[in-house]
Amino acid sequence: MNDTGNKNRAVESESGPFHLSQLRGAQSIVFTKAPYLLSAASVAGSKEAQGPLGKCFDLTNEDDLFGAETWEEAESNMQKEACVLALGKSHVDPKSVRYLFGGDLLRQGIATSMGVEDLQIPIFGLYGACSTSGEALALAAMSVAAGYGDYMLAVTSSHFGSAEKEFRFPLGYANQRPLSAHWTVTASGAFLVGSHLNKIHSDNQHQRKSQFRHIRITGVTIGKIVDFGLKDSQNMGACMAPAAADVIYNHLNDFGTTPDDYDKIITGDLGYVGQAILIDLLKRKGIDISKVHMDCGIEMFDKENQDTHSGGSGCGCSATVLTSYVFKQLKKKAWKKILFIPTGALMSPISFNQGKSVPGIAHLVVIESV
C-alpha cells in the first residue's frame, strides 16, 4: 500500500503539479502557458455574404453547392477551404499540425471526414451539435498547453441544405417556419492554435508568422448537459439557453469574476428567443450580462430584410462570426477579453421522432488580446 502510494506521488510530482495548478473550480482550466490563436479562416454561403458580416468573411460563394453535386459534399468543400486558408495565413504545412479537432452536424460527421481527408492530419472527430466550435477550440488549446504539439487545427461547419434536410424538413417540402425557428448558417470556420508566438520557424520560402499576433486562449470552462425537458426542435434557443446560463454561472464562480470583467460575453446561436431566456435565467441568480452580451446567431443575419426569424444557427455560425468579426475587434484591441460560448442542441432525427426532449450543451473559451 505504502509503496504504491509513494509511486503514485512520484508520478504526480513529475507531471501532476503543472497540470493540477491549472485546474480552477469545478469545471474550468486556466492555462499557465496560454496557447496562441495564430490564424483563422472563414468560408460562407450566399445568404451569409448578403448579411451584416458579409465583407468580413475570407471566402464566399454565390453558389451554395461550392462546385459539388450534393449539399453534404458542398459542406465538405467548405471545411477543406477553411483549413487550407487558415494554414496558409501562417504558412504552416499540414504535416506540421499534430492533431485536428473537427466536427459538424451530419450523421457520423461525414462533412468533416470527407472535408479534411486530403490534409492527412491525425484527427479527433467531434460532435457537440452547434457547440462544436467551442469544443474543438477548447481541446486544441488544452492539447497545445499540455505540450502535445506546437500546432493544433480546429474546424467545424454547417450547411442550410444538409442540416435542414436532416433535422427539420427537406427543402422541397417548403414548410412554414415559426418565428422561434433558426436559419441554419452555411459556413465553415477553422482555427490554427499554436504554442509560441515568437517561435517563428523558417523554411526555404517563408517565415511562419501569426495572423493575430496577440490573441491567446487563456482558459476554458467545459459545459455539462442541461435538459429542461423542452421538445420543440423549432425553438432551439429555448433548449440551449439553460446550458449557456449554467456554464457562464459556473465559469464566473470558478474564476471569481463578474460580467464587468469582460468586454463581451458571446454566445453561439441562441437567437432572439434564447437570448432573452439566458439573460432572465442569469438575473434570477443575481448576474446581469445584458450590457455585454452578444449572440452570433443574431449578428449573422439582418432579421428584417433576410427573414431569418430568431437568427442564425449551426456549427458554422459561431465559428465564422468568431474568425471574422470578433477576431478583428480583438486584433485592434477594441475588445481585450471575451468569453466565447458556442451552444448546441443535442438532438437527432431518431430522438425527435421518439418524442425525447432536446438537451443543451455549451462550452466556454476565454480569449484575450494581450
Residues of the chain with CATH 3.40.47.40: 31-194, 217-369
What's the confidence (pLDDT) of residue 233?
Answer: 75
pLDDT of residue 108: 81
Task: Band the pLDDT of 204: cuts 50, 70, 90.
Answer: very low
pLDDT in tens, 260-274: 999 999 999 999 999
Specify whether domain 31-194 bears CATH 3.40.47.40.
yes
Domain over 217-369 is classified CATH 3.40.47.40: yes
How far is 164 from 20, CA to CA, in rounded Å? 43
Query: 144 with 193: CB under 8 angstroms?
Result: yes
The pLDDT value recorded for residue 177 is 67
CA distance 159 to 167: 12
List Cα–Cα distances, 85 to 59, 136, 290, in angstroms.
9, 18, 35
Digit-coded pLDDT (tens) for 112-145:
988 899 999 999 999 999 999 999 999 999 999 9
* C-alpha–C-alpha distance, residues 328 and 241, integer Å: 26
In this structure, the strands spanning 264-267 and 360-362 are: unpaired
Q: Would the pLDDT of 103 be above 50?
A: yes
Mean pLDDT value of segment 22-42: 94
Most confident of 15-24, 253-262, 269-278, 310-319: 253-262
CA 142, CA 152: separation in Å to the nearest integer?
10
Q: Which three cell numbers stand for residue 311?
A: 437568427
Task: Supply the pTM of this predicted model.
Answer: 0.89
Which range has highest mean pLDDT (166-170, 174-178, 297-301, 352-356)? 297-301
Cell 481541446 sits at which residue?
Answer: 139
Which residue would you say has higher pLDDT here, 169 or 48?
48
- Average pLDDT of the segment spanning 235-248: 93
Separation between Cα atoms, residue 162 and residue 64, nearest integer Å: 11
Instruction: List Cα–Cα distances, 343 to 12, 207, 224, 247, 332, in angstroms.
Output: 35, 36, 11, 10, 26
Give the number of other Cβ atoms within 10 Å of residue 68's Cβ.
Answer: 15
Largest distance between two CA atoms of the chain: 71
Residue whose entry in the numeric block shows the C-alpha cell 479537432: 101
* Phi-psi domain of 22 (left: phi exceeds 0; alpha: psi -120 through 50; beta: other): alpha
Do residues 152 and 107 make contact, with C-beta atoms less than 8 angstroms apart?
no
Judged by average pLDDT, the poorest of 10-24, 239-253, 261-275, 294-308 is 10-24
Q: What is the pLDDT of residue 203?
A: 45
Question: Cell 450590457 maps to which residue?
Answer: 291
- Averaged pLDDT, 335-340: 98
Could you report the per-residue pLDDT of 144-178, keeping only the tens digit for each?
999 999 999 999 999 988 777 666 666 555 566 65
For residue 316, the tally of other CB atoms under 10 A from its CB is 41
CA distance 189 to 111: 13
Higher-confidence position of 113 and 81: 81
Rounded average pLDDT over 52-68? 92
Could you write out the three-class secondary structure of the chain? CHHHHHHHHHHHHHHHHHHHCCEECCCEEECCCCCEEEEEEEEECHHHHCCCCHHHCCEECCCCCCCCCCHHHHHHHHHHHHHHHHHHHCCCCHHHCCEEEEECCCHHHHHHHHHCHHHCCCEEEECECECHHHHHHHHHHHHHHCCCCCEEEEEEEECHHHHHHHHCCCHHHCCCCCCCCCEECCEEEEEEEECCCCCCCECCCCECCCCCCCEEEEEEECCCCECCCCCCCCCHHHHHHHHHHHHHHHHHHHHCCCHHHCCEEEECCCHHHHHHHHHHHHHCCCCCCCCCEEEHHHHHCCHHHHCCCCCEECHHHHHHHHHHHHHHHHHCCCCCEEEEECEEECCCHHHHHCCCCCCEEECEEEEEEC
